[in-house]
Amino acid sequence: MKNYLKWEQTLFRDREVFDSGYVPEVFLYREAQMKSIGYAIAPGIEGKQPQNIVCVGPPGTGKTTSFKKIIDQAEQISPSNLILAFINCRYTQTHFSVLAEIYKKMTGIEPPTSGITLKKVYEKIAQTLVTKRKSMFVILDDADFLISRKIYDDIVNNFLRLHEEYPISIGLSTVHSTQCPLLDDGLSSVFIPAVIKFPSYSWDETFDILNTRVKIGLYPNVVKNEIIEKITDYAVSKGDIRFGIDLLKRSVISAEKRASTIAEFIDVDNALIEASNERMKRYLKVFTDSETALLSLASDMGTSQAGDLFCAFSKRTRKGYTTFHKSLNKLVNAKLVDSCIENRGKNGRTRIITAKQPSTC
Ligand SMILES: Nc1ncnc2c1ncn2[C@@H]1O[C@H](COP(=O)(O)OP(=O)(O)OP(=O)(O)O)[C@@H](O)[C@H]1O
Ligand SMILES: [Mg+2]
C-alpha cells in the first residue's frame, strides 16, 4: 500500500463525506420511501394538489436526507409550478417564525416582524400563491418540536384550510422521529395523510451504509472490514447510524494522529472515548451542580444500590431525596446511567444504578 501520509498527509479522500450535513449520492435502502414522497409531491409540479403525508421513523433513518434529495430533484425540473418550503422546526421555534420562513422561501423577503398578525401572514402566503399561480408543498421537518410547543395542530389546520378561502393547492408533510402525531377530530377532517414509515436499519444495512461511506470518503484499505463491523455493532446498539459515521471519522483521525495509514481497533477505542467526552461536555453545560455531582459519584461507584448512592450524594451536596430522585431520572433519561430493580430475597426489591461505560453511552 502507498504511504498516503507522506504524499497527501491525510487518509481522507473526501472528508466532507463524514460531515453531518453531507447528502450521500448513494442512498441505500430508502427506495420505497423516496418513491412515496415523490408520488406525493409530483402533482404539485403541474400546479395540482400534492398529497399530504406524515413521515415517521427513529433518529438517523434517512428522513431528512430523503427530502433533501427529492427537493434537489424537484428543483432541477423546469418549468415547474411548485414551490417547496422545507422548514427545520428544531430551530424555527414559534408559529410566526414557521410562517415567516415559508414566506421568505416563496418571495425571498421576510414579512415585517411587528404589527402583523398570524392571519395576515397566512393571507400573504395564499395571495402570493394566487399571484404566482403556483402550488406549494410544505415540509415541517422535526415536527415533534411543534407538538411539544403545542402549535402543531394550529399550523397544520390553518394551512390546510387556506384553500377554503383561496383557489390554491397546498400539500403538507410533517416529519417525526418519535411517533405518528395523534390527530384530534377537528384536524383529522382536513388532514388525512398517507403515512410513510422509516424503519431502523438492520445490522447488515448499517454495515452496507458505513462501508459505502468508507469507499467514497477514504483511500483504499484505510479501514478494514473488521473495523467497520465493530463500528456497526456500536451504531446498531446506539440505534443511530450517525454515531457510526462519526466513529468512522474519529477513528481515521486517530489513525492519522498516530501517523498510521490504517485504522486499528485502538483507534475505534480512542474515537469512542472522544465522542463520549464531547457528549459529556455538552451535557455538563445543561446539567445542574447536583446532577453533575450525582453523575460523578455514580461513575466512581460503578454499580451501586440506590440507597448507597443517595447517602454519598446527600453527603456531598447536602441535598435531599427529591433532588436526588429528579437528578437520577435525568441521568437515566440521558442514558448516562442504567437503573433496574433487583429482587433480593425476603429483603425485598432494590434499585441498582450502573454508570455506563463510554462505549455504551
Ligand atoms: N440509507 C442511507 N444511506 C446513506 N446514508 C444514510 C442513510 N440513512 C441515513 N444516512 C445518513 O445518516 C445521517 C442521518 O440521516 P438523516 O438526517 O436523514 O436522519 P433522520 O431520519 O432525519 O434523523 P432525525 O430523526 O434525527 O432527524 C445522515 O448523515 C445521512 O447521510
Ligand atoms: Mg431529520
Q: 163, 197, 231: which is the final residue of a domain?
A: 197
pLDDT of residue 225: 97
Phi and psi dihedrals of 302, rounded to 5? 70, -90
Phi and psi dihedrals of 88, rounded to 5? -90, 105
Q: Kindly state whether residue 274 falls inside one of the protein's structural domains.
A: no
Mean predicted confidence (pLDDT) in 284-310: 92
Confidence of residue 8 (pLDDT cuts 50, 70, 90): low
* Digit-coded pLDDT (tens) for 89-116: 999 989 999 999 999 999 999 888 888 8
| Residue owning the nearest CA to atom 3 of ligand 1 | 27
Q: 149, 176, 197: which is the final residue of a domain?
A: 197
pLDDT of residue 7: 46
Confidence of residue 138 (pLDDT cuts 50, 70, 90): very high
Ligand 1 pocket list (CB less than 6 A): 20, 22, 24, 27-30, 57, 59-65, 142, 177, 198, 209, 241-242, 245
* Digit-coded pLDDT (tens) for 213-226: 999 999 999 999 99
| Residue owning the nearest CA to atom 24 of ligand 1 | 59
User: Position of cell 461511506?
Assistant: 213
pLDDT of residue 159: 94
- Distance from residue 101's CA to the centre of ligand 2 (Å): 18
Alpha helices in the chain (DSSP H): 4-7, 31-45, 63-76, 95-107, 118-132, 144-148, 152-165, 185-188, 203-217, 225-238, 241-257, 265-286, 289-301, 306-317, 321-333
Same domain assignment for residues 143 and 250? no
More confident residue, 238 or 16: 16
Tally of structural domains, the chain: 3
* Digit-coded pLDDT (tens) for 158-188: 999 999 999 999 999 999 998 888 888 888 8
pLDDT of residue 2: 54
Same domain assignment for residues 292 and 321? yes
Q: 151, 176, 197: which is the final residue of a domain?
A: 197
Same domain assignment for residues 43 and 184? yes
Confidence of residue 360 (pLDDT cuts 50, 70, 90): low
pLDDT of residue 186: 82
How much of the chain exceeds pLDDT 90, in percent? 76
Atom number, ligand 1, closest to the C-alpha of residue 29: 1
**Host domain of residue 292:** 287-355
- Distance from residue 278's CA to the centre of ligand 1 (Å): 21
* CATH code of the domain covering residue 166: 3.40.50.300
Supply 320's cell numbers: 435531599
Same domain assignment for residues 83 and 161? yes
More confident residue, 47 or 361: 47
- Distance from residue 90's CA to the centre of ligand 2 (Å): 10
Same domain assignment for residues 230 and 295? no
Q: Among 200-209, 281-290, 298-307, whose mean pLDDT is lowest?
A: 281-290
Mean predicted confidence (pLDDT) in 194-200: 96
- Distance from residue 117's CA to the centre of ligand 2 (Å): 30
Total-model pTM: 0.83
